[in-house]
Amino acid sequence: MTDLVGAKKNGVMLLLVVLLLSGCGLSSSYRSADQKTIRDFSGSGKYRKAVGVLVLSNATMFKSEQVASPFMEAFISSLESNASEALLMVPGKSDVPPFLWNPPRIANTEIDVFTLSALARQAGINAVVSPVLMDIRLRTRDTGFWFFKDVAYSLQVQTAAAVFDAASGARLALGMMTDEVDIDEDQARFIRDGQEIEVDDLAELAEEMGQALGVRMGDAIKESQWVSAVVSIEGQSCVIAAGSEVGIEVGDWFSVLDGSAVLTGLDGQRYTLPGPKIGEIAISRVSPRQSFGEPESGEIPPAGSILIPGR
């Protein structure tokens, strides 16, 4: 199996580096005292990460379950095993927010990560995983020589998966895989005519690819930082869309970072850029999926502010 791309990146770190290099002035607000930024926090292993899994995007001509079902079953099983501490929200397996079934997209049909990350924060989700069946195409190759020349046929399958950080919308990891399964001339003729047919070993191949990508995305989730956000203000309290279900308790402290800055990339995508520390909150009330925090320093943080465990 050929591994084309396997990249695990801390998207928030890269965004900060881009701004520092581009002279956007972030370095002037970075100080070692009160003005901490996200780079000053190592995160906390106390809290479970809530991870949303987008419905499978299938761009291939194989629309039946012979590829999609084994791929997704293996992908989810592998993801659950490799990120066992995460709380997975999977369409079809549990009640999930509508955007996991129908993610927002920009004009070129790519996922709108700015809107997606905002929706994820509102739902208390820390990261979003996107599995994709990219392409299944007919391949031919010459075999033999002279009078013994022949043509061999195969199906090339391309799959991918990515993890997006809900705090910023940045991509934390991307995996793409390509492999092939042999077919005969009659099968090739049907496929060339645009017909989907049953192909031996195709389901097994899809399962293997789903399993491998699930491992890679699980690794990225384990290595990512737990970050939350203020979703609304009620009186003198700020509301967090996460509670005892992920381990938050009364008395927990969070540092508050400015969440108002937006970075626009060359491809038209926009990203939330966590800014410097603007205050601290302590948790005063907790329910299974919601928490309420009171400001311990500074003003009540506005909705959209980023929360990092610890002081």
Query: Residue 15: which pLDDT band, with cuts at 50, 70 and 90?
Result: very low
Model pTM? Answer: 0.83
pLDDT tens column, 216-238: 999 999 999 899 999 999 998 99
Same domain? For 68 and 159 the reply is yes
Predicted local confidence at residue 143, as pLDDT: 75
How many domains are contained in the chain?
2
Residue 49 carries which DSSP code? P
The domain boundary, picked from 223, 238, 267, lies at 223
Is residue 12 assigned to a domain?
A: yes
pLDDT at residue 150 above 90?
A: no
Range of the domain at 285: 228-309
Residue 9 lies in a domain: yes
- Choose among 216, 205, 51: nearest CA to 133: 205
| Alpha-helical runs (H) found in 83-224 | 98-101, 113-122, 185-192, 202-223
Tell me whether residue 40 is in a domain: no
Band (179; pLDDT cuts 50, 70, 90) = very high
**182 and 285 both lie in a single domain:** no
Total count of residues recorded for the chain: 311
Dist. CA 138–CA 107, nearest whole Å: 29
Residues 216 and 239 in one domain: no
CATH of the domain at 284: 2.40.10.410
Give percent of the chain above pLDDT 70: 83
- The set of residues, in sequence order, having a beta carbon less than 8 Å from that of 197 and lying 6+ positions away, is 187, 190, 191
Q: Are residues 95 and 26 in the same domain?
A: yes
Report CA torsion sign: 116, 117, 118, 123: positive
36 falls within a domain: no
Domain presence at residue 42: no
Question: Is residue 39 scored above 80 in pLDDT?
Answer: no
What is the band of 43 on the pLDDT scale with cuts at 50, 70, 90? low
Pair 19, 138 in one domain = yes
Q: Rounded to whole angstroms, how far apart are CA atoms 129 and 121?
A: 14
Let me know whether 18 and 82 are in one domain: yes
Q: Note whether 64 and 85 are same-domain residues.
A: yes
Average of per-residue pLDDT across 242-255: 95
Give the pLDDT confidence score for residue 48 in this predicted structure: 94
CATH number of the domain at 109, please.
Answer: 3.30.160
**At residue 249, does pLDDT exceed 60?**
yes
Q: Are residues 92 and 139 in the same domain?
A: yes
Mark which of 197, 223, 249 sits at the end of a domain. Answer: 223
Of 229, 245, 198, 242, which Cα lies nearest the Cα of 67? 198
**Span 42-68, average pLDDT:** 91
Q: Left if phi > 0, otherwise alpha if psi is -120 to 50, otherwise beta: which for 250?
A: beta
Cα–Cα distance measured from residue 208 to residue 156, given in angstroms and rounded to the nearest whole number: 14
Q: Are 1 and 179 in contact (CB under 8 A)?
A: yes
Residue 110 covered by a domain: yes
Do residues 78 and 218 lie in contact, with contact meaning Cβ atoms separated by under 8 Å? Answer: yes
**For position 109, what pLDDT does the model report?**
84
Looking at 47-199, which runs of residues are DSSP E strands? 50-53, 57-58, 87-89, 127-143, 150-165, 171-183
With a pLDDT cut of 90, the percent of the chain lying above it is 74
**69 lies in the same domain as 52:** yes
Same domain, 294 and 187: no
- Tokens linked to 196: 């989907």
| Any domain includes 43 | no
- Give the phi and the psi of residue 4 in degrees, each rounded to 5: -80, -45
Q: Which of 208, 223, 238 is the last residue of a domain?
A: 223
Same domain for 205 and 251, yes or no, is: no
Q: Is residue 35 part of a domain?
A: no
Same domain as 265, residue 173: no
Average pLDDT over residues 149-177: 94
